[in-house]
Each structure stands twice: as structure tokens, then as C-alpha cells.
Structure 1
Amino acid sequence: MAKEWQVYIVRCNDSTLYTGCTNDLKKRELLHNIGKGARYTRNRRPVRVVYTEEFGSKGEALRREYEIKQMTREEKEELIKKNKVKIEAEFDLIKGK
């Protein structure tokens, strides 16, 4: 099964973290940055994706999103740190670098 759903964390302009779930990460990041994403991010733009995980179903992704939202900021920062290299490589590919 293709990995169609992603859980992501964005770092907002005020350094806070927001966790969400989507089936189109590029579009979702754009929506956050034009003020049409989550209410939480509207006044904290720009946002930057700093973490992603892929899942085969929406249900799996939503369960993981909930798990991440229950984490402390320190736990989320550790998750981000461990996956930083992976994210940078993926977005370089998306942006054609």
C-alpha cells in the first residue's frame, strides 16, 4: 500500500510547534503560510515543516498525530532532531535542488 498520509510538525515564526495530518504536505504547508491552515498557525506565520512521518491510512496517521500531540516539547524536539537530515533531503527533492 502506498504511503498516502503524513503526520507533520511545523515550527512557527514564534518558535512554537504545531502538529498536523495531511494527504498533501506541500499544499498543507502553503495553506498554513497564507493564513488558511489551522487557526493556531494563522498569526504565527511563516511556518516551516521540520518533521514528517508517512502512513498507509488516515486512521494510522491520526493515531500517530494524537501520540505526538501528547508529547512534551522536549520530546518533540528530540524527534525533530533525529529526523532533521531526512527532512532536508526530502524537501530538496521536492523543491528541485
Structure 2
Amino acid sequence: MAHMYILRCSDASYYVGSTRHLERRLEQHAAGAVRSYTSTRLPVELVYVEEYGRIDDAYAREKQVQGWSRRKREALISGETAKLARLSSRARRG
């Protein structure tokens, strides 16, 4: 099992990642053991997760979501799928 996840950092920014071992990865983030964006923005909170059968699918989704605007990520987190479509069409227009 693999996961794409979104963390909310202490500065209200978002971190998007993927992993095969979600619980272990979250523990690493929380401990500051991951040399990444999150290590200087602790504490972090898991706000969204998607499950995949393959890590390459989770990684592809991670890369997709990393390219999204903050508003689009927040629509995903809150489950507002109608907003996702609107935000995508707005981005294409301008």
C-alpha cells in the first residue's frame, strides 16, 4: 500500500509527499528527522491522505498536487470537488 499525503505546517503552508509507510513517515516528519521542507516548520498535521496500490501512482499524484495552487489544495483537503474543476478552468484561462 502507498499513500499521497498533505501536511499542514506550523506556518500554515502545505507539504505534499508520498510514501509506502505512512505512519512511520509521519513519525519522521513530527520528529524533524526528515530533511525536508517540514523540518523547520514543526509541528505538522496530517490533513489529507489518498491510498494507492502502487508507490509510482502515489508519487505521480504527489507531483500533480504539488503543482496546484494553495486554493486548489484546500479544495481537495475539504472535499469540495466542484471547486477543483472551477479552479482548474480558471487557471487555464488566465
TM-score (normalised: structure 1): 0.78
Aligned to 1:55: 52
Q: CA RMSD in A?
A: 1.2
Aligned to 1:10: 7
Aligned to 1:90: none
Question: Partner of 1:74: helix, strand, or coil?
Answer: helix
The superposition leaves residues 24-69 of structure 1 with CA deviations (integer Å, 9 ceiling, x where unpaired) of 1111111011111242000100101000001111111111111100
Q: Is 1:80 paired with 2:85?
A: no
Once residues 78 and 37 of structure 1 are traced to their aligned partners in structure 2, the CA distance between those partners, rounded to angstroms, is 27
The AA in structure 2 aligned to 1:13 is S
In structure 2, relative to structure 1, the CA distance for the partners of 1:34 and 1:51 (3 Å cut) is same
Question: Partner of 2:15: helix, strand, or coil?
Answer: strand
Q: How many residues align?
A: 80
What are structure 2's unaligned runs of at least 5 residues? 81-94
Q: Within 5 Å, which residues of 2 pair with 1:63-78?
A: 63-78=60-75
Aligned to 2:92: none
Question: Partner of 1:75: helix, strand, or coil?
Answer: helix
The AA in structure 2 aligned to 1:42 is S
